[in-house]
Every structure is written in C-alpha cells, then in structure tokens.
Structure 1
Amino acid sequence: MIPVRRRAYPTLLILVSIGLLALAAGCLGTAETDDYPPWNLTLLGDTEIVLSLDEIREMDAVEGYGYAVSTVGIRYGPNRYRGVLLTDLLGMVGGVGEDDLVYVSAPDGYMWVFDAAQVRGEELFTFDENLHEIPSPPLQVILAYDCDGKPLAHDNGGPLRLVVISETPDVITEGSPWVKWVDKIEVRRR
C-alpha cells in the first residue's frame, strides 16, 4: 500500500469539512434571478394579490443585518440582506389589525405565524454573541431577495426568505421565523 494515499484522506476530509462549514455559514452559492423557475408570491387579506419575483424586486427596499441562531444553536450570519418590509406587503391586502395573525408559508410545508407586533419587528427574541438574551433594538421583518449584494441563493432560502434585520451586525435573532422559499403570506382576521 502506498502511504501517500493514506495521508490524502485526512486532507480530503478537512477540505470537505471546510466546504460544508462555508456553505452553512450564510450567503454562499450563486443564484442569479434567471436561475430560478418562475416564482410567485401570493398575498391574502381583504383581497388576493399575486406578485412575481421581478415585481417584488421593483418595490421600495430596505437593507440591514440579519443574524440568526437555530433551535440547535447553529448560527447563520451576520449577513447584509435587502428586501421588502413585511408591513408594506401586507398593506397591499388591507394591512394587519392588532388582533390579526399573519401566516407565512413555503412549498415544503413549513409555516410561521406572526402576531401584529412581531410583523412590526417587536416582541422578538434577541441575543448577544454569547447567546444571552438582550433587550431588543429596533428590528424590521423583511421578505429578502438579496444577501450580501447578490440574489439570495436557493440553499439560503431563495428566491424569497423572511429575515429579521437590525442596523448592526451584532444582534442575533431566533431563526425559526426565518421562513425559506416563501410563496404565500396570509392575514387571518380574528
């Protein structure tokens, strides 16, 4: 047996591990908007509106830092996201009353439910770098389509993903509301 081959396995394992960690870290991958099949977002409220990805990209946009932690402690970010405020999208179908709930869902069946305060970026859990809970700075909930200046990669929830952003890169939010592959947002009146 040739000893050189045995030494190659640990090196290969290290390179593969580094690659996997880099992919898990955030906004890596390429995804031009032309790479996606036609993607529509359905907004339901007092009316129903269907928007294409191009129409969403033409709306007034906001930018901020998104940094999340999963339920098992994996961190994603910080990255700079660009997208449309969830409140602006909901305004197109009648807005959100204080007692309403907003259901954000994806084709894979994942769904997250927000109350009116959370839609405005309030009453969300925030953490510091040591994952200690901190008082929440101003937050915004957006439907993101860009990450670090590039179209949101499919591996990172693209073409449309819900993201909680702040003005600084050091605020970590709970990752559960960061719905990937968003295709439907519905206001349910109570």
Structure 2
Amino acid sequence: MEPLHGPATYEHEPPRHWALKINSKEPFNAEPPACELVDSYITSVDMFYKRNHGPIPVLENYSLFRLKVGGLAPNHCSLSMDEIKQLPKHTVVATLQCAGNRRTAMSLSRKVKGVGWDISALGNGVWSGARLSDVLNMVGIPNYTKVSSCGGKHVEFVSVDKCKEENGGPYKGSIPLLQATSPDADVILAYEMNGEELNRDHGYPLRVVVPGVIGARSVKWLKSIDIIAEECQGFFMQKDYKMFPPSVTWDNINWGSRRPLMDFPIQCAICRPEDGAYLEEGSKVTVQGYALSGGGRGIERIDVSVDGGKTWIEAKLGQGLKSGHGYIPDDDDHRDKWAWVLWELSVQISSPTDILAKAVDSAANVQPESVESIWNLRGVLNNSWHKVHVNIIPKQLHSNL
C-alpha cells in the first residue's frame, strides 16, 4: 500500500478557500466563518472544517489501491475501489463535529491544550459509499454481531496518515463491533461527499463515516480494517479525546481511568448575529444557529434568551433536508437523525444585551449552563450555553451616520 502514496510533506497540500479561518498551518486546521454555516443545511465541501494531524496524503496510483480487511475476522479480503463501488451504495446525511469544537471559549475559563477552535469545527454533509456491515459480511461477520467467532469485539480503522503523535505512524481509531455490524448505525466507507468524489482534504479515495460520534473516529485515507479483541491502542484512542473532570491536571492525569470519547453530547451555537455585533435600536434581528446531538438523538427544541437568561423563547426549527439536492436519490431511505438542525428566531432588541441559546434533545438531555462545570484540560466537548453580546446604535445616531 505504501508505494501508492507520494511523500507526506507540506509541500503538496491541496488548495483551500480563502475565507477559512486558519487555526494552524502545519498540520492544516481551519474552520469557516460561523455565518456561513447557517446559509445552507448541507455544508459545502469548501466550507467544511479541515481537521488534520499531518500532511495530506497523495495517492499516486488509484488503480492499485486495495483496502485490506482482516484481523480476527473468520476470513480476510482485499478490495479495490471498483469492487467497493460494486457493493450496494448507501447515502447518509450526517454532521461531523470535532471533539474540540468551541474549545476557545473553554480556554477563557482556564487554559486548555489543543487547536483553538471557535464554533465552526463541524459541518453537515451527504456521504455515500458502501455500508461497513456489508463489507464485514464479506469476511464472515454477520449483522448485529457483538463478538466474532474468532473473539473480535472491536473494528479498527487504519489510515495512511502519518502523525507525530503516533511517532510517525498511521492515524488509527476503532468502534465496537456491534455498532460496525449494525446497518441501523449507518457506518459507511464513503467515497463521495455531497454527490462528488471525496477530495484530498476529506479522505480521498476512501474514508470511514461514523454518524453521531466525534469526528476523530471517522478515519480518513483508509488503508485497512482489522477486527480486534480490545479497542484500538493508538494515541488518539488512549492518550487523547477523553473527558476528565475539572480536578484533573497534567500532573495527576491517568489516561487509563477514562474511556475513549464516542457519541458527542447535545450541542447548540449562535451563528448570527456574531459576538460584538452592533444593531440598530429597536430593530428586528433574526438570531440563527445550529443544534445537534449524538447517537442518533434528534433535537426537541431550542430555547433563546435575549435578556441574558431572564426569560426564554422557543426558536423555530428548520425543516431538515430540502429538495433540490440532486445527488440524493429520491428513493433513498436516508434519515436526518444523524444531522444537525438549523434554527432561527426573529426578535426586537432595544438595548445592549447577551443573547443565549440552549438545546434539548429527544432524550431530554440539556446543555449545562456553565463552562466551568465541564472544563477539562484537553478542552473537549464544550457544550455549555452559547452566548453572544450585541451592542445597540441609538436610532438618532444611526440616522446621522
């Protein structure tokens, strides 16, 4: 497999959109302006956040690509891209979100370690490819299997990505075998994003998409799939992306005391107006944002306050996937349960104030009010109430401008 890829250097990075906010150049990590997120239910490829741990791989010979599937599977196989595309094509609408989304706000409470993401380290995409469960069927593992006949309990995904955290080795991650073999979980080996071939930034030619789970488990540039007895022992499963209480510091951390993060919690953010915006006194303003919850839990409601949390108004939820996305088959049985909802609320604001937003999901999970209560040294899973402050331009002053 390795000879199929060119040198992993930053000299061969793909072009990116000029509007992205770059949080680190090498490796490249960037997010779109928040206002771009609420312009479309489906996030464009250009505006989809970019999360990397090393240089973007360069595939030099597509025709020789082979995906190896083995480990503790009863049988092993090696599949070309043509063979993968001959399997039934499945399309799923799913939001991918970095576990570090909204980390910058958490660091304002106390300093945390990690890329300084604002509120746009996520995007909602239309992903198409082969179901992982269909591929596992080919190596002798039936649907809804918790433990394989050879003792496998987890499915490990291995990339060609080279990471300094893995001492120059490949990026790896895993999910439980039961989740991998369940067609209901909609885990796919994706080769298309938004109706087009995956580009290099998003995993060309093949990636895993694990809906409802933190983005770290949706491994890009997939090289092999292994059935293993225990969860993946890679750095990003065992020494990162874990949730610790506020009392844990770098001096007393015990990585083995916590499980790797999987489902992301309920999340909500305000994308318009932006923090610090100036509004005309008494004008109608449309507050817009996104909300999502992990594990297939839908959003029940969004509560918005325009008086700093004294009173709350329920926002209007978007209608989900709109018509006009021709790359989604009309007869495809896709579900929006893995996707965000966009919401809005039109209100009149007459004085400087804090606008707050919080969400409730279908399991009645609610967001915590304070970031301090969920602070952790890695700055992951900040899902506290989101707040933006708006200023007011008096009508008389505005008319003189």
Same fold flag (TM > 0.5): yes
Q: CA deviation at 1:121?
A: 5.7
**Separation in structure 2 between the aligned mates of residue 26 and residue 18 of structure 1, nearest angstrom:** 8
SS in 2 for 1:110: strand
> Does 2:160 match 1:158?
no
Q: CA deviation at 1:164?
A: 2.6
1:120–1:47 CA distance, 2 compared to 1 (3 A):
closer
> Does 2:18 match 1:16?
yes
- Same amino acid, percent of matched pairs: 25
**Separation in structure 1 between the aligned mates of residue 182 and residue 46 of structure 2, nearest angstrom:** 28
SS in 2 for 1:162: strand
TM-score when scaled to structure 1?
A: 0.67
| Correspondence for 2:193 | 147
Q: CA deviation at 1:114?
A: 1.5
Q: CA deviation at 1:158?
A: 1.5
> Does 2:102 match 1:56?
no
| Correspondence for 1:182 | 222
Contact 2:136 2:181 in 1 (8 A): no
**Separation in structure 1 between the aligned mates of residue 154 and residue 188 of structure 2, nearest angstrom:** 16
> Does 2:156 match 1:103?
yes
Contact 1:85 1:142 in 2 (8 A): yes
**Separation in structure 2 between the aligned mates of residue 86 and residue 24 of structure 1, nearest angstrom:** 27
1:187–1:18 CA distance, 2 compared to 1 (3 A):
closer
Q: CA deviation at 1:16?
A: 2.8
**Separation in structure 1 between the aligned mates of residue 181 and residue 67 of structure 2, nearest angstrom:** 20
1:153–1:35 CA distance, 2 compared to 1 (3 A):
farther
Q: CA deviation at 1:79?
A: 1.0
**Separation in structure 2 between the aligned mates of residue 95 and residue 79 of structure 1, nearest angstrom:** 29
SS in 1 for 2:100: coil
**Separation in structure 2 between the aligned mates of residue 152 and residue 76 of structure 1, nearest angstrom:** 17
Larger radius of gyration: 2
SS in 1 for 2:190: strand
Q: CA deviation at 1:116?
A: 2.1
Task: State the one-letter code of the partner of 1:17.
Answer: A
Q: CA deviation at 1:17?
A: 3.3
Task: State the one-letter code of the partner of 1:140.
Answer: D
Q: CA deviation at 1:188?
A: 2.6
SS in 1 for 2:216: coil
Q: CA deviation at 1:37?
A: 6.0
1:107–1:145 CA distance, 2 compared to 1 (3 A):
same
1:17–1:145 CA distance, 2 compared to 1 (3 A):
same
**Separation in structure 1 between the aligned mates of residue 60 and residue 86 of structure 2, nearest angstrom:** 16
Task: State the one-letter code of the partner of 1:82.
Answer: S
- Higher helix proportion (structure 1 or 2): 1
Q: CA deviation at 1:159?
A: 0.8
> Does 2:137 match 1:84?
no
Q: CA deviation at 1:105?
A: 0.8
Contact 1:26 1:79 in 2 (8 A): no
Q: CA deviation at 1:154?
A: 1.3
Task: State the one-letter code of the partner of 2:90.
Answer: V
**Separation in structure 2 between the aligned mates of residue 37 and residue 153 of structure 1, nearest angstrom:** 17
**Separation in structure 2 between the aligned mates of residue 71 and residue 24 of structure 1, nearest angstrom:** 18
Task: State the one-letter code of the partner of 2:203.
Answer: G
Q: 1:127-164: CA deviations, max 9, x gaps?
A: xxxxxxxxxxx531000001111111111011111113
Contact 2:179 2:185 in 1 (8 A): no
CA RMSD of aligned residues (A): 3.0
Contact 2:20 2:47 in 1 (8 A): no
